[in-house]
Structure 1
Amino acid sequence: MKTHFKTIIVSDIHLGTKGSKSKEIVRFLKLYHCENLILNGDIIDGWQLKKSGTWKRKHTRFFNRVIKMIDNQKTKVFYLRGNHDDFLDQILPLQIGNLSIQTDMIYESAGKKYFITHGDIFDSITTNLRWIAYLGDVGYTFLLWLNRIVNHYRFKRGLPYFSLSQYVKGKVKSAVSYIDQYETELAKMAKAKGCDGIICGHIHKAEKRIIDGVEYMNSGDWVETMSALAEDHEGNWQLIYYNEIDFKSIRDLRVSSFFAGEESPVIPLKQVSFDASDDELNPPAFRKL
């Protein structure tokens, strides 16, 4: 897998919250170059910033990195509005040079059309019963807080990371049913728009599969999963998990490539998975081999 892609899509970074993996996403974007960077919603968590969230320097560094990609690599950046950064409604649409801020978009590549949206517009709870959506946000924030405590003690005992929120999603039937329905409805929407695929985020569940002949892809999140969608120049899509990147091998390879005069080193991955089992509780980085 090379370091340069045609398009990279990330979503649900939730900058302004304690759970945001802002350092990791910056490190990720330093490794990978792309012609198009699509920030698919919930990049800034306006909901939490209004309540108990805190904006830190590490969150600003993310946007510094994006600006450098625009200036140094001529990357085109598309920032799509999510439900947690709905404050963008006040300025949409907006384009400044290679930066475009909009609600959603149609992306065409390799003879295919993809409808790209954060996904909250299809969530009737978020759009019609906003107070319930806020209540759900409070519950998820609490799970992340509890998750840090649980994994602090697991780490001390030499145990692998355990995602409490993913466990709850996998055990609560209504949550499983909601995710299935969410994915199916998005696939229907893509077909109705005459698109070959749908690309979204919102539910923090990285996925790549075919639903009724439509390519359904979800970029995951940068709170727990730390995943991104990447398209090569032949139009092939894949999920990349941050925790599966072998940074030591990359560093060694880049050193050897430098002395050999090579310009585009290859990044080895420990594992890139498209089909994770429904009952898998651990993120890809901690799978037992």
Structure 2
Amino acid sequence: METNFKTIVLSDIHLGTTGSKAKEVVRFLKQFQCENLILNGDIIDGWQLKKSGRWKRKHTRVFNRVLKMIDCDRTKVVYLRGNHDDFLDQVLPLEIGNLSIRKDMIYESQGKKYFITHGDVFDNITTNLRWIAYLGDVGYTFLLWLNARVNFYRRKKGLAYFSLSQYVKSRVKSAVAYIDDFERELCKVARSKGCDGIICGHIHKAEIRNIDGIDYYNSGDWVESLSALAEDHDGNWQLIYFNQLDFGKQDKNAGKVVPIKDTEFSKLNTFYQ
């Protein structure tokens, strides 16, 4: 697998929560180089940090890795605000060297234009019915808690990982309809802005598809799917899943990652006061 990309997009890392796979994010970022790194919202989970979340050293290491990419690889990093890190509204827009924090952006590559946004502003639940969004967050947190216990016993029996929340979302008709509506509405927005595609996150469902002539790309999340979008230097996009990388078969000279064939920022607290 190629390890040098033009652009990598990650979203929904939810640092500050027990479900965040911060160690996996750091390990992932160490395997790849890119000219542009776009952190597309919900990187820090301010909602959970206000309640029961805890900021741990492993969460700080994600930002240490990003800063090292800026310093050593001259990577340009754009952090786009999501609904869970909406505290960033207090500092938007901000640009310091190769790091910028914005609400959204237009990305141009190989003659194509993409509107990049977390996606929550086009979600009626998170924008108009915030209390329902908080209630949904509580329910999702409970599913993740339950999921961890289910998979603890599955591992003891030698069974593969099972995503309870993904299963629920795929079976509940209203959830399926919501996702489809979300995707189509975002494509309409991209078209209205004269763009060829939309790049988003928010709904924790990685996807690459074309909807009515508009490219729809969703980078997924780093709570369950552990996925990222990557664009090569020819303008081709692909989804990369952490769990499909075999880190044990790296080429020591080239640093390649072979796909599996078979298968303490305490200052952040000031934002919440």
TM-score in terms of structure 2 length: 0.95
Question: Who is 2:182 aligned against?
Answer: 182
1:182-214 deviations in Å (ceiling 9; x for gaps)? 001111111111000000000000000000000
Post-superposition offset of 1:171: 1.2
Number of equivalent positions: 263
Cα distance in structure 2, aligned partners of 1:229 and 1:149: 29
Of 254, 263, 269, which residue of structure 1 is paired with 2:259? 269
Cα distance in structure 2, aligned partners of 1:84 and 1:265: 35
1:49-99 deviations in Å (ceiling 9; x for gaps)? 000000000000000000000000000000000000000000000000000
2:6 is paired with a residue whose SS is strand
% of aligned pairs identical? Answer: 75
One-letter amino acid of the counterpart of residue 35, structure 1: E
Question: Who is 1:279 aligned against?
Answer: none
Cα distance in structure 2, aligned partners of 1:159 and 1:67: 38
Cα distance in structure 2, aligned partners of 1:78 and 1:44: 14
Question: Who is 2:191 aligned against?
Answer: 191
Question: Who is 1:203 aligned against?
Answer: 203
Cα distance in structure 2, aligned partners of 1:26 and 1:54: 18
Answer yes or no: is the 8 Å Cα contact 1:2–1:265 preserved in 2.
Answer: no
Answer yes or no: is the 8 Å Cα contact 2:31–2:255 preserved in 1.
Answer: no
Question: Who is 2:79 aligned against?
Answer: 79
Post-superposition offset of 1:173: 0.7
1:81-230 pair list within 5 angstroms: 81-230=81-230
Cα distance in structure 2, aligned partners of 1:266 and 1:109: 25
1:222-246 deviations in Å (ceiling 9; x for gaps)? 0000000000000000000000001
Cα distance in structure 2, aligned partners of 1:122 and 1:71: 34
One-letter amino acid of the counterpart of residue 171, structure 2: K
1:208-287 pair list within 5 angstroms: 208-250=208-250, 253-254=251-252, 257=253, 264-270=254-260
Question: Who is 2:266 aligned against?
Answer: none
Cα distance in structure 2, aligned partners of 1:92 and 1:9: 20
Unaligned runs of 5+ in 2: 264-273
Cα distance in structure 2, aligned partners of 1:160 and 1:35: 35
2:239 is paired with a residue whose SS is strand
Root-mean-square deviation (Å): 1.0
Unaligned runs of 5+ in 1: 258-263, 272-287
Question: Who is 2:267 aligned against?
Answer: none
Cα distance in structure 1, aligned partners of 2:21 and 2:104: 24
Cα distance in structure 1, aligned partners of 2:3 and 2:173: 40
Question: Who is 1:21 aligned against?
Answer: 21
Cα distance in structure 2, aligned partners of 1:120 and 1:13: 15
Post-superposition offset of 1:270: 2.3
Cα distance in structure 2, aligned partners of 1:248 and 1:60: 26
Cα distance in structure 2, aligned partners of 1:166 and 1:2: 29
One-letter amino acid of the counterpart of residue 269, structure 1: P
Answer yes or no: is the 8 Å Cα contact 1:77–1:99 preserved in 2.
Answer: yes
List structure 1 runs of 4+ shifted beyond 4 angstroms.
Answer: none
Cα distance in structure 1, aligned partners of 2:256 and 2:197: 28
Cα distance in structure 2, aligned partners of 1:127 and 1:245: 37
Post-superposition offset of 1:265: 4.6
Post-superposition offset of 1:267: 2.7
1:85-116 deviations in Å (ceiling 9; x for gaps)? 00000000000000000000000001100000
